[in-house]
Amino acid sequence: MKDVTFVADFFLSAMNRGAEQNDHTVIRLLNDKGLRVKYAMCDRLRFIKKNEFYIISNFAQLGPDAIAQLVTHRNYVIYEHDFKFAPGRNPSQFLNHLLHADAVQHRAFYEAAQAVILLTTGQEEIFRKNLPYLNYTVTGLSPYEKKDLDQIRSINVDTFRESNTGAVLDFPHFQKGTSQSLTRCNELGITPVMLSSRPTKIEFLQDLAVGERLVFHPQIYESCSRLSMEARMLNMEVDHNGMIGAATEPWWEQSGHDLIDLIEDMQSDVIWTAFKDYVS
């Protein structure tokens, strides 16, 4: 096994968001396969070891010297959560998600990577439009810790759903499409149930599960929205606008306990398959 360092802007101990939760579980799954993955914050990484291998996650704070060394040594893969080749990580501002050639960012960094590991087929389609010659691998999901899946199982059993309601994410910025989702609720003739931040994830999931469905119309393409995955695992329908990569995966047609069991059973193998040729 190679010496492997996982590089990111933040880790779960400092920032509890979807990307950091995803990275945390990926590192744990790789370690379960016999690796001993080290951590490095982007803003602290100065020297790239030629004989070490790097998994690059979110890299907004990765310095130009570190990037130049990585491009020279080509000893890394990019684990891509969104679309950092696009201004504002938003390819949706361009017609059909196709950027003008001079608008593509970080081109050399992507092209020098041994692979770009993506989350969903929908995300891959957008990448291939803009960076067609890269080596892509798709995991097909965002992985979860067992305790989180068990929480969703318990909520499935205990929650009473309000009929003719739609859960809507109450988010202050345009990208999550709160106003568009509320308009859609009005079109469907259903009552919105607003989802706000809660002290714990289980409280948020309990709020989500009250809705009969999730109404989610993001304005920036969501590579693999954990919110939409959780709604499906909670046995909810998801009314969306085609901007959710999770909906391009075969498992999307399943829901509830069947989907929870499937994610739990498959995630270790799909993550290892995506990374093993580069880290072993």
Res 1: pLDDT: 74
Per-residue tens of pLDDT for the chain, all 280 residues: 789 999 999 999 888 899 999 999 999 999 999 999 999 999 999 999 999 999 999 999 999 999 999 999 999 999 999 999 999 999 999 999 999 999 999 999 999 999 999 999 999 999 999 999 999 999 999 999 999 999 999 998 777 788 999 999 999 889 999 999 999 999 999 999 999 988 899 999 999 999 999 999 999 999 999 999 999 999 999 999 999 999 999 999 999 999 999 999 999 999 999 999 999 9
Res 15: pLDDT: 86
- Helix (H) or strand (E) run with residue 188 in it: helix 178-188
Res 213: pLDDT: 97
CA pair distance 46, 273, nearest whole angstrom: 30
Res 14: pLDDT: 85
Res 202: pLDDT: 93
Q: Where are the domains of the chain?
A: 4-142+266-279, 146-263
CATH 3.40.50.2000 fits 4-142+266-279, yes or no: yes
What are the DSSP calls for 225-267, one per residue?
A: -HHHHHHHHTT-EEEE-S-BGGGGSGGGG--HHHHHHHHHHHH
